[in-house]
């Protein structure tokens, strides 16, 4: 018997609201890929909720014809956790920016990940505060000149994927706004994962930080700067696919294939490795240090989810103690009777 | 037979009947005064007395031993009459060490019974309490009925035969841990309290794991009782008849416990799952701890990473359709401010609990105060009115929890519940209701709409409540957010007139609640010289002071506010019936400010922020002064 679920299209996921992002903003592309991907999941629209914080990226829920909540700055993971606990039947997405997730919301991000709540986080990383018009963010590179760092930023930037791995995220991935096929596939994998899925998306803010990711998006050079991860495959990259990543002791190094280096000498990707060591090593590879930056799924492992644990414990206690009875509860301590007076 | 109290043990000494007594047990925070205090409470309640308690302990878990900072006290009034406070002056005081003596003796009334553990008044003990002479030898104590008891050594003797599982006798340390029960034994003898409930408690608590501990404490308790009976120190003991409470089954409840029970009950009455997002803080933590037991009642508790996450998780749960609640004390409520504004503009139902403590900042964590009223009223950015309800006593918390949820879910608005440390930790008898008899709380959610219809998430019913449409409902997909929303559609709107309109509506929602809550009731003359107006935990002291004033022939009425926002519809009318209005508060005049601003009346205020509740005498004295001014 075939299910009679209506087949949805990307257009079915568009709300009636005008989109207010700047023309050319990378957010459009992420929105488009999300709408295109969701029908693949077969989840009805009314079962999907997008929760966001504050920022340009966080306007996202308004544009989706699903349930949604545009909350307050940095706190989306907390709303989403409460929602998911109350309603484990819903598919919950958290949409956040680099400032929203990593600055004001750093605490919540850390805790939602370590709890492994079954939801999906998409971090739109444009390395700038877009909505407040161009101050530097926790992912802006050191030395970055912005409105609030006219002489260059002194802060060390934060690496979102290292942070996620450090919190023992069970699913960690990265994609790029303009690499639409890859983005769609990555979001789909995130949706399918049980537990917290953390996806960083390189997103261009063409107004306040244009070209921040050009090394990873420019057609002519990106192949040399990106390492597309595939589970079980050797780590090969480069326009001519002639470079690879090899382990030298504990350190990765870039090597040229041929000239005595075989594919088998390279590091093979294992997204299911129980220890997060490999994922961490990958997350640390930066273009500035001469490495290609990995995209795709760094880590995807199975681990019990928080929401399942909460429900299971409630069920277990209910089996042990029986369904709660208020009348019995109120009488569980010492009680005494006061009888009616005759006088 | 009017009631069925438990029989008191038989004493051969003269027994005098009393209407009630106020007793305080004070010692080092490691001496277990809170434990025996609650046992005495329970025993007195089981004897049919009305009881009210005031536990008072330091913020430090283990303040330096023997110092004044480490003193922990438990005060209890039990009575054959209706009482509303733990009492002012003490009829009996037990002090386990010199520090407890100096910090508490001021509250003992002349000719009151002072029982001192003389074993702990050695030089080194005196030094710890910063005393250079033994106060027990002072002539000043002649005005009291001082009874020096070597509690420590008598306790050691009493438990000397007890053997543990390995067949060894208890060490000195373990033996000394029983001395609180010896002290309790003396008090039980003095007031004719039955030992049986305490013995049962000891067996329940320790009987299985540490039968030796249960046995030792029981022996100490009995030894204390026998000491009262046989030592020639007391002339007589006392008896307090049962109080004439409304017929029914009673149990003793503490405020936070009653609140937790009220919340679970409200969830049950409204057919909702209860979700509690919280972060530990004194004195609100017991609500989290209590609720986390109720997994088999469909209660989900979430100990969040901070107070912001706690309220945000609750808002998420409210969006999902739970009866959502967050709770904290002042410092945590301050952190929740931004999210409370969001909850308000989202117009989702939820409860925000503040068990107040002494402020500002970290303030006095374990002491009581009522100084977060203005925070509850105004502690958010923008025009963000929220309803505020305050509990007046431990058992009242049970009803307040339900009333708050009734209003919140009916009007689709977050409601703030104020309690305080005094209510939270205080205990009193509570008549157990029959859950089946409690009024149901009906809540409905819209179902899918027909093709061609549009769903308007910000349309309103006659209460101005918008529909609570739940995720998962086909055709009702909508987006909520903190940006100003357009009337009806809820879409983002920056339109000037719309913002004015929505602001007006949100205020109007709060105002309309005044039509459905009970009018404020007055006890005493319907018009006259003075009205005492109170709110929250000062209820007991105010009503008692007003009664006494009337007994003394003064024209004094008392009105107590349950809702602080909105004020009850008849409040202005009531205020105008008296020549003067006095507002006693454990803050520097927060309700006074609101009353003066709203009704333009010249209310006078009585304020105190000492971390302690009002004494009845403090209020009574002020009432006299006010009445004198009218002469
Ligand atoms: C409590 C609070 N503080 C500050 C702001 C102002 N604010 C709004 S968005 C934002 C930064 C957004 O940056 P990011 O998360 O990177 O999102 P983007 O706009 O770049 O997508 C700030 C500081 C706010 N809305 N709330
Ligand atoms: S400011 Fe930047 S991030 Fe924001 S909408 Fe414009 S281009 Fe996009
Ligand atoms: Mg940004």
Rounded Cα distance between A308 and B283, Å, is 31
Average pLDDT over every residue of B322-334: 98
pLDDT confidence of residue A343:
46
The pLDDT tens digits of the residues spanning A131-177 come to 999 999 999 999 999 999 999 999 999 999 999 999 999 999 999 99
Contact A62 B3 (CB under 8 A): no
pLDDT confidence of residue B13:
77
Residues 6+ apart with CB under 8 A from A329: B261, B264, B297
| Residue extents of the structural domains in chain B | 5-240, 251-437, 522-629
Domain covering B522-629: architecture: 3-Layer(aba) Sandwich (3.40)
Interface test mutation site (partner A, options B6, B477, B485, B494, max chain A beta carbons within 10 A): B477
What strands, in cross-sheet order, belong to the sheet with B522-523? B522-523, B556-561, B528-535, B578-585, B604-607
Cβ–ligand 1 distance for A54 under 6 Å, the answer: yes
Q: Which residues from chain A sit within 8 angstroms of residue B432, using beta carbons?
A: 327, 330-331, 335
Handedness of CA B106, B111, B115, B121 (dihedral sign): positive
Scanning the structure block, which residue is given the tokens 């008392």? B558
**Left, alpha or beta for B3 (phi > 0: left; psi -120 to 50: alpha)?**
beta
pLDDT confidence of residue B9:
59
Residue pair A66/A45 in contact (Cβ under 8 Å)? The answer is yes
B6 band by pLDDT with thresholds 50, 70 and 90: very low
Q: Closest partner residue to B275 among A69, A82, A326, by Cβ? A: A82
Residue pair A158/A138 in contact (Cβ under 8 Å)? The answer is yes
Contact B320 A107 (CB under 8 A): no
Rounded Cα distance between B546 and A16, Å, is 62
Residue pair A79/A117 in contact (Cβ under 8 Å)? The answer is no
Contact B295 A110 (CB under 8 A): no
DSSP run (H or E) holding B377: helix B373-378
Closest ligand 2 atom to residue A20 Cα is: 5
pLDDT at A184 over 70: yes
Residue pair B264/B398 in contact (Cβ under 8 Å)? The answer is no
Cβ–ligand 1 distance for A140 under 6 Å, the answer: no
pTM for the model = 0.95
Q: How far B231 CA sits from the closest chain A CA (Å)? A: 32
For ion ligand 3, residues whose CB falls within 5 Å: A 97-98, 126
pLDDT at B367 over 60: yes
Q: Which residues from chain A sit within 8 angstroms of residue B297, using beta carbons?
A: 323-324, 326, 329
Average pLDDT over every residue of A216-230: 97
Closest CA to A120 of A201, A176, A179, A65: A201
Tell me which CATH homologous superfamily contains domain B5-240: Pyruvate-ferredoxin oxidoreductase, PFOR, domain III (3.40.920.10)
For ligand 2, atom 8, which residue shows the shortest CA distance? Answer: A25
Neighbours of B590 (CB within 10 A): 23
Vertex B549, ends B50 and B426: CA angle to 5°?
Answer: 30
Domain covering B251-437: architecture: 3-Layer(aba) Sandwich (3.40)
Cβ–ligand 1 distance for A130 under 6 Å, the answer: yes
Contact A331 B249 (CB under 8 A): yes
Average pLDDT over every residue of B399-425: 98
Q: Closest partner residue to B247 among A54, A321, A339, by Cβ? A: A339
pLDDT confidence of residue B363:
96
A79 band by pLDDT with thresholds 50, 70 and 90: very high
Selected residues 21-50 of chain A with any CB under 8 Å from a CB in chain B: 44-47, 49-50
Rounded Cα distance between B601 and B614, Å, is 24
Closest CA to A30 of A131, A180, A152, A168: A180
Scanning the structure block, which residue is given the tokens 């999907």? A48
A185 band by pLDDT with thresholds 50, 70 and 90: very high
Selected residues 75-104 of chain A with any CB under 8 Å from a CB in chain B: 75, 77-87, 89-90
Q: How far A98 CA sits from the closest chain B CA (Å)? A: 19
Q: What is the number of the ligand closest to the CA of A127?
A: 3
Contact B321 A87 (CB under 8 A): yes
Contact A67 B432 (CB under 8 A): no
Omega before B130 within 30 of 0, i.e. cis = no
Average pLDDT over every residue of B590-619: 97
What strands, in cross-sheet order, belong to the sheet with A48-52? A226-228, A293-300, A171-176, A197-202, A120-125, A91-97, A48-52, A67-70, B479-481
pLDDT at B3 over 70: no
A4 touches chain B (CB under 8 A): no
Q: Which residue from A55, A59, A121 has its CB within 8 A of the most atoms of ligand 1, so it is best to mutate? A: A55
Cβ–ligand 1 distance for A129 under 6 Å, the answer: yes
Residue pair B606/B590 in contact (Cβ under 8 Å)? The answer is no
pLDDT at A1 over 70: no
Q: How far A87 CA sits from the closest chain B CA (Å)? A: 6
Return the exposure string of B295-305: e unless at least 16 CB atoms fall within 10 Å of the residue's CB, then b. Answer: bbbbbbbbebb
Q: Which residues from chain B sit within 8 angstroms of residue A338, using beta carbons?
A: 3, 48, 242, 245-250, 431
Cβ–ligand 2 distance for A206 under 6 Å, the answer: yes
For ligand 1, atom 3, which residue shows the shortest CA distance? Answer: A73
Average pLDDT over every residue of B96-111: 97
Q: Which residues from chain A sit within 8 angstroms of residue B319, using beta carbons?
A: 49, 67, 69, 79, 83
The pLDDT tens digits of the residues spanning B515-564 come to 999 999 999 999 999 999 999 999 999 999 999 999 999 999 999 999 99
Cβ–ligand 1 distance for A137 under 6 Å, the answer: yes
pLDDT confidence of residue A341:
66
Asked casually if ipTM beats, i.e. exceeds, 0.95, the reply is yes
Cβ–ligand 1 distance for A66 under 6 Å, the answer: no
Long-range contacts, stretch A185-189, CB < 8 angstroms, 24+ apart: A186/A295, A186/A296, A186/A297, A187/A33, A187/A34, A187/A37, A187/A120, A187/A122, A188/A37, A188/A40, A188/A41, A189/A297, A189/A300
A259 band by pLDDT with thresholds 50, 70 and 90: confident
pLDDT confidence of residue B383:
98
A331 touches chain B (CB under 8 A): yes
Rounded Cα distance between A63 and B476, Å, is 15
Report the SS3 class of residue B485. Answer: strand
Q: What is the number of the ligand closest to the CA of A132?
A: 1
Q: How far A255 CA sits from the closest chain B CA (Å)? A: 44
As a whole number of Å, the CA-based R_g of chain B is 27
Cβ–ligand 2 distance for A208 under 6 Å, the answer: yes
Cβ–ligand 2 distance for A21 under 6 Å, the answer: yes
pLDDT at B2 over 50: no
B603 band by pLDDT with thresholds 50, 70 and 90: very high
pLDDT confidence of residue A4:
61
Average pLDDT over every residue of A290-305: 98
Rounded Cα distance between A289 and B95, Å, is 71
Residue pair A336/B250 in contact (Cβ under 8 Å)? The answer is yes
Residue pair A25/A43 in contact (Cβ under 8 Å)? The answer is no
Selected residues 103-132 of chain A with any CB under 8 Å from a CB in chain B: 107-108, 110-111
Domains and CATH numbers, chain A: 10-232+271-308 (3.40.50.970), 234-268 (no CATH)
Rounded Cα distance between B176 and B156, Å, is 7
The phi and psi torsions of B260 (rounded to 5 degrees) equal: -60, -45
Long-range contacts, stretch A305-313, CB < 8 angstroms, 24+ apart: A305/A116, A305/A117, A305/A118, A305/A194, A305/A195, A306/A81, A306/A85, A306/A115, A306/A116, A306/A117, A306/A118, A307/A84, A307/A85, A307/A88, A307/A117, A307/A118, A308/A88, A308/A118, A310/A85, A310/B300, A311/A88, A313/B295
pLDDT confidence of residue B61:
77
Cβ–ligand 2 distance for A130 under 6 Å, the answer: yes
pLDDT confidence of residue B60:
81
pLDDT at A214 over 70: yes
Q: And the tokens for B538? A: 């000062």
Interface test mutation site (partner B, options A86, A89, A90, A324, max chain B beta carbons within 10 A): A86
Neighbours of B222 (CB within 10 A): 20
The pLDDT tens digits of the residues spanning B35-79 come to 999 999 999 999 999 999 999 888 887 788 999 999 999 999 999
Contact A337 B250 (CB under 8 A): yes
User: How many interchain CB pairs under 8 A, A with B?
Assistant: 219
Rounded Cα distance between B75 and B25, Å, is 7
Q: How far is CA A14 from CA A53, B34, B472, in A?
A: 20, 61, 18
Cβ–ligand 2 distance for A25 under 6 Å, the answer: yes
The pLDDT tens digits of the residues spanning A14-41 come to 999 999 999 999 999 999 999 999 999 9
Report the SS3 class of residue B355. Answer: strand
Rounded Cα distance between A77 and A100, Å, is 10
B236 band by pLDDT with thresholds 50, 70 and 90: confident
Q: Tell me the average pLDDT of chain A.
A: 96
Q: Tell me the average pLDDT of chain B.
A: 95
Contact B46 A318 (CB under 8 A): no
Q: Which residue from A24, A62, A137, A205 has its CB within 8 A of the most atoms of ligand 2, so it is best to mutate? A: A205
Q: Which residues from chain A sit within 8 angstroms of residue B4, using beta carbons?
A: 336-337, 339
Scanning the structure block, which residue is given the tokens 């708050």? B404
Burial class (CB in 10 A: 0-12, 13-18, 19+), A342: exposed
Residues 6+ apart with CB under 8 A from A245: A227, A235, A237, A252, A253, A254, A255, A266, A267, A285, A291, A292
Cα(A175) to centroid of ligand 3, in Å?
A: 16
- Domain B251-437 in the same topology as domain B5-240: no
pLDDT at B623 over 50: yes
């Amino acid at each position: 018997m075939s299910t009679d679920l209506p087949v949805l299209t990307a257009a079915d996921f568009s709300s009636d609201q005008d989109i207010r992002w700047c023309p050319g903003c990378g957010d459009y592309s992420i929105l488009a890929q999300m709408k295109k991907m969701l029908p693949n999941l077969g989840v009805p629209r009314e079962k999907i909720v997008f929760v966001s914080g504050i920022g340009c990226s966080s306007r996202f829920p308004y544009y989706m014809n699903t349930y949604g909540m545009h909350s307050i700055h940095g706190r989306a993971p907390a709303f989403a956790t409460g929602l998911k606990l109350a309603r484990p039947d819903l598919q919950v997405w958290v949409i956040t920016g680099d400032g929203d997730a990593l600055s004001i919301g750093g605490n919540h991000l850390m805790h939602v990940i370590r709890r492994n709540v079954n939801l999906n986080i998409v971090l739109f990383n444009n390395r700038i505060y877009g909505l407040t018009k161009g101050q530097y963010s926790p992912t802006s590179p050191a030395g970055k000149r912005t409105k609030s760092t006219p002489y260059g930023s002194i802060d060390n930037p934060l690496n979102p994927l290292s942070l996620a791995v450090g919190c023992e995220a069970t699913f960690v991935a990265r994609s790029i706004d303009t690499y639409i096929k890859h983005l769609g596939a990555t979001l789909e994998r995130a949706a399918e994962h049980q537990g917290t899925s953390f996806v960083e998306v390189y997103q261009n803010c063409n107004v306040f930080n244009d070209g921040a990711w050009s090394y990873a998006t420019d057609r002519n050079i990106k192949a040399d700067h990106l390492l597309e991860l595939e589970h079980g495959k050797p780590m090969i990259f480069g326009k001519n696919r002639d470079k690879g990543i090899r382990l030298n002791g504990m350190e990765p190094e870039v090597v040229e294939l041929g000239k005595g280096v075989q594919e088998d000498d390279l590091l093979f990707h294992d997204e299911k490795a129980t220890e997060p060591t490999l994922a961490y090593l990958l997350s640390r590879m930066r273009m500035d240090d001469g490495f290609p930056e990995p995209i795709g799924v760094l880590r995807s492992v199975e681990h019990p989810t928080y929401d399942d644990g909460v429900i299971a414990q409630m069920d277990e206690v209910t089996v042990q103690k029986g369904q709660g009875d208020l009348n019995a509860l109120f009488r569980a301590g010492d009680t005494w009777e006061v009888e009616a007076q005759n006088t | 037979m009017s009631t069925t109290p438990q029989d008191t043990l038989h004493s051969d000494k003269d027994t005098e009947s009393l209407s009630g007594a106020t007793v305080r047990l004070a010692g080092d925070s490691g001496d277990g005064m809170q434990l025996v205090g609650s046992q005495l409470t329970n025993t007195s309640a089981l004897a049919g007395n009305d009881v009210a308690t005031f536990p008072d302990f330091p913020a430090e878990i283990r303040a330096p031993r023997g110092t004044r900072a480490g003193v922990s006290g438990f005060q209890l009034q039990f009575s054959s009459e209706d009482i509303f406070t733990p009492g002012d002056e003490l009829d009996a005081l037990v002090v386990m060490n010199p520090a407890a003596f100096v910090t508490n003796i001021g509250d003992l009334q002349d000719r009151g019974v002072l029982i001192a553990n003389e074993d702990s008044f050695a030089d080194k003990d005196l030094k710890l309490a910063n005393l250079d002479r033994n106060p027990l030898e002072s002539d000043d104590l002649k005005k009291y009925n001082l009874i020096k008891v070597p509690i420590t050594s008598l306790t050691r003797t009493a438990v000397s035969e007890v053997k543990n599982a390995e067949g060894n006798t208890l060490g000195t340390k373990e033996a000394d841990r029983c001395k609180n029960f010896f002290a309790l034994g003396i008090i039980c003898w003095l007031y004719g309290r039955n030992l049986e409930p305490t013995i049962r408690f000891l067996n329940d608590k320790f009987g299985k794991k540490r039968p030796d501990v249960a046995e030792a404490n029981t022996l100490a308790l009995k030894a204390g009782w026998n000491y009262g009976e046989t030592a020639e120190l007391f002339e007589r003991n006392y008896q307090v008849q049962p109080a004439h409470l409304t017929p029914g089954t009673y149990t003793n409840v503490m405020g936070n416990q009653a609140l937790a029970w009220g919340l679970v009950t409200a969830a049950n009455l409204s057919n909702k799952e209860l979700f509690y997002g919280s972060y530990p803080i004194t004195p609100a933590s017991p609500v989290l701890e209590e609720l986390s037991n109720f997994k088999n009642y469909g209660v989900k508790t979430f100990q969040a990473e901070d107070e912001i996450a706690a309220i945000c998780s609750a808002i998420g749960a409210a969006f999902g359709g739970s009866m959502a609640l967050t709770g904290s004390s002042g410092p945590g409520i301050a952190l929740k401010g931004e999210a409370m504004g969001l909850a308000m503009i989202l117009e989702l139902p939820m409860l925000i609990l503040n068990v107040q403590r002494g402020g500002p900042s970290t303030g006095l964590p374990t002491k009581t105060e009522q100084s977060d009223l203005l925070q509850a009223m105004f502690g958010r950015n923008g025009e963000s009115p929220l309803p505020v309800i305050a509990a007046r006593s431990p058992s009242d918390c049970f009803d307040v929890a339900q009333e708050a949820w009734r209003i919140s879910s009916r009007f689709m608005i977050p409601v703030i519940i104020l309690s305080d440390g005094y209510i939270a930790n205080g205990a009193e008898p509570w008549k157990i209701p029959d859950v089946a008899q409690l009024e149901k709380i009906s809540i409905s959610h819209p179902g899918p709409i027909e093709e061609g219809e549009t769903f308007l998430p910000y349309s309103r019913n006659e209460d101005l409540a918008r529909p609570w449409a739940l995720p998962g409902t086909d055709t009702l997909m909508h987006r909520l957010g903190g940006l100003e929303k357009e009337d009806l559609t809820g879409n983002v709107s920056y339109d000037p007139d719309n913002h004015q309109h929505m602001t007006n509506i949100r205020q109007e929602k709060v105002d309309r609640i005044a039509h459905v809550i009970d009018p404020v009731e007055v006890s005493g003359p319907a018009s006259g010289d003075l009205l005492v107006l109170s709110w929250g935990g000062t209820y007991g002291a105010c009503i008692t002071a007003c009664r006494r004033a009337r007994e003394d022939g003064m024209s004094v009425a008392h009105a107590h506010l349950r809702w602080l926002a909105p004020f009850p519809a008849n409040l202005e009318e009531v205020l105008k019936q008296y020549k003067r209005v006095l507002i006693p508060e454990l803050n520097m005049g927060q309700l006074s400010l609101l009353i003066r601003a709203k009704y333009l009346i010249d209310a006078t205020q009585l304020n105190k922020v000492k971390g302690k509740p009002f004494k009845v005498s403090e209020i009574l004295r002020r009432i006299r002064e006010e009445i004198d001014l009218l002469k």
